[in-house]
Every structure is written in structure tokens, then in C-alpha cells.
Amino acid sequence: MRHAAVTYGAALAAMLAAGCGYTPPGKPNPADRPRTPAQITDFDFLFQQNCTGCHGDDGKFGPAPPLNDPIFLAIVPDAELLDVITNGRDGTPMPAFARRLEGPLEEDQIKIIAEGLKKHWKSSKLSEDKLPPYTVAAKDEATSTADTEAGKKVFARACASCHGDNGQGSSEGHKPGRINDPDLLSLMSNQTLRRIIITGRPDLGMPSFAEDDGRPGDYQPLTSEEIDALVALLASWRNQPRSGATVTLNVRK
Ligand code: HEC
Ligand code: HEC
């Protein structure tokens, strides 16, 4: 099922307009966020009050990656959940929630949320051993040209049918849209790119690494190395010129 066109960038812009507490990457403004009273220990309430604005009601259909996703919950390490909620992700809209970082939550509330995600939404049917590992090889933005070249080949078989040969978006009237967009990619860490390629966005109609929907007939699931090569390719698109803005500088003496 394809959901109404919600792109990450557009949704983030809408969140900004609605003043939902989003602040630009790297500039947390914790004072704007509601304080959660320390005695509240109910997962549903904590999640609702602190997370749904970005991750969506029930952990799906938000502008940020879905947390209520069986593949994601099968592969994400518990320590990573605790770490990202405590400290946020630098350079992305994911804020730090720990009080000592001026966030709104106590340590034990963060623990209740981190553990609650798997308790509430993890499926017992999926086994981690059959899935690619969660952690991305290149955490930083820098990726090698060899990886980027390998990524292009994988992109052609696994992504181009929907996103266009170079990620420029489909020429057909309907979505999906452009993903070689520096403004979109600069809001997403390499870890999130890897995760999106593994899990897809079932809420928006993007298939997982293993599903052949909308892909060539002989499609085979992506390997872990192929996924990292794709991350390298998408990361390299962060550095291309902004859309429509070919800037020429005329320097006069
Ligand atoms: C202002 C928007 C915003 C809010 C509020 C927010 N998140 Fe996030 N979150 C994001 C974004 C954006 C990312 C992806 C960051 C990246 O690119 O690495 C993210 C990533 C994550 C991840 C890692 C997901 C992955 O695929 O690896 C977890 C876990 C997470 N958030 C949990 C939470 C929880 C729990 C809350 C509430 C306590 C919360 N977030 C609140 C925006 C938000
Ligand atoms: C069957 C079609 C299809 C295929 C194949 C596909 N995607 Fe997508 N992708 C989508 C849809 C639909 C969205 C939702 C956003 C939109 O509509 O533009 C999306 C969104 C994305 C996003 C933005 C994620 C977000 O959270 O907003 C990225 C990045 C992405 N795709 C990368 C890829 C990569 C890399 C591949 C190849 C491994 C791929 N996609 C294959 C349909 C597809």
C-alpha cells in the first residue's frame, strides 16, 4: 500500500511550521520542550509526550524513521537504543533526552522508553541471524570512491526502478520523490541511511532490503556489504550542488 506522499524534508518543514519543538541540527533548544514530571513511568504516556511528534503516532508515519518496525527492532542493539535516546544524534534533528544534557527525561524514564520499544512492538517471528547487522561501517560522512562506484551498481538493481537512475526521482506522476537531495541527506546520518535501506519504509511504500516489490524480477536480497556501498553512494550526494542553484562567482579586482 502506498501512503499519501509524505517526504522527509517536507514533513520536517511542516513540523517546523507547526512549532513542534524541532530545532535545527546542532542547535538544541531544550527550553522549548515540555518537561516531563519525574514520577511518570508509563511507556505509552512517555512515548506520546516525547516521541510521536517526529516518529509518528504509534511509532510510524512520522517524518523520522519509524521505531515501530519489526526489522528495526530485531536488529537494533539495546545499548544503541539507550544511547541514542540519552544523547541524541549529533548533526540530525534527533535531540538528547537526558536531563544532564538539558533534556526533559530522567535516566530511568529513558530506560523505560528504550526497553518499552521492544516490549511493545518487537515481533517474535523475526530472527536477527537472517538479517543484515544494524551498525553502519562508515559512521562519519567520509566514504571512499571505490565504495561509491560499487554503490552505483547496487543502486541500479535495487533502487533505480523507483528513485530514478541517479536518485533524481521518478519521472512518473506519482511518488517516490528525489533522494539525491543534499538538503534531505544532510538531515540523515549514515546510520539512518543504512537502517532505511535494511527496513525500507513500509509505512510509506518502500520495500525492505529483501523484498522484491517494484524491483527487477531476478532481485536478490542485498548483502551487508552492498548496503554499505549504497550508504557511501548516498553520502556522496550530500556534497553535490543544491537544487537549481548553480552559483557563479564573478570576482572583480
Ligand atoms: C525533533 C524530532 C525528534 C524527536 C522529538 C525524537 N526523535 Fe528520535 N530521531 C529523529 C531523527 C530525525 C532520527 C534519525 C537520526 C539520524 O539520521 O541518525 C531519530 C532517530 C532515532 C532512533 C534511531 C533510529 C534508527 O533507525 O537507528 C531512535 C531509537 C530514536 N530516534 C528514538 C526516539 C525516542 C524514543 C524519542 C522520544 C523519547 C525520539 N526519538 C524523539 C527525530 C526525533
Ligand atoms: C518500490 C519502490 C522503491 C524502491 C525499490 C526503493 N524505494 Fe526508497 N522510497 C520509496 C518510497 C515510496 C519512499 C517514501 C518517500 C517518497 O515517497 O518519496 C522512499 C523513501 C526513501 C528515502 C527517504 C527515507 C525517509 O525516511 O524519508 C531514502 C533515503 C530511500 N528511499 C532510499 C532508497 C534506496 C537507497 C533504495 C535502494 C536500496 C530504495 N530507496 C528503493 C520507494 C522505493
pLDDT tens for residues 206-241? 999 999 999 999 999 999 999 999 999 999 999 877
- Give pLDDT, residue 108: 96
Q: How far apart are the first and last CA of the chain?
A: 59
User: How far, in Å, CA of 53 to CA of 51, rounded?
Assistant: 6
Ligand 2 atom 42 nearest Cα: 206
Ligand 1 atom 36 nearest Cα: 51
- Give pLDDT, residue 32: 60
Q: So what CATH class is 8-130? A: mainly alpha
Ligand 1 center to residue 55 CA distance, Å? 7
- Give pLDDT, residue 176: 74
Ligand 2 atom 10 nearest Cα: 206
Ligand 1 proximity of 65 Cβ (cutoff 6 Å): yes
Cβ atoms of 60 and 69 within 8 Å: the answer is yes
Q: What is the pLDDT of residues 77-103, one digit of tens each?
A: 999 999 999 999 999 999 999 999 999
Smallest-distance ligand from the CA of 69: 1
Q: What is the pLDDT of residues 154-174, one digit of tens each?
A: 999 999 999 999 999 876 656
Cell of 44: 505509552
Ligand 1 proximity of 118 Cβ (cutoff 6 Å): no
Task: Tell whether the torsion through CA atoms of 185, 191, 192 and 197 is positive or negative.
Answer: positive
Q: How many residues does the chain have?
A: 253
Q: What is the pLDDT of residues 103-146, one digit of tens each?
A: 999 999 999 999 999 999 998 888 888 899 999 988 776 677 88
Which bin fits 243, alpha (ψ -120 to 50), beta or left (φ > 0)?
Answer: beta
Residues 6+ apart with CB under 8 A from 190: 136, 138, 139, 140, 141, 143, 231, 235
Atom of ligand 1 nearest to the CA of 187: 17
Task: Tell whether the torsion through CA atoms of 217, 1, 158 and 226 is positive or negative.
Answer: negative
Ligand 1 center to residue 252 CA distance, Å? 47
User: How far, in Å, CA of 247 to CA of 170, rounded?
Assistant: 26
Ligand 2 center to residue 48 CA distance, Å? 26
Q: So what CATH class is 145-239? A: mainly alpha
Cβ atoms of 221 and 239 within 8 Å: the answer is no
Cβ atoms of 219 and 208 within 8 Å: the answer is no
Q: Which residue has the higher pLDDT, 7 or 118?
A: 118
pLDDT of 16 higher than 50: no
Q: Where in the chain is the domain with CATH 1.10.760.10?
A: 8-130, 145-239
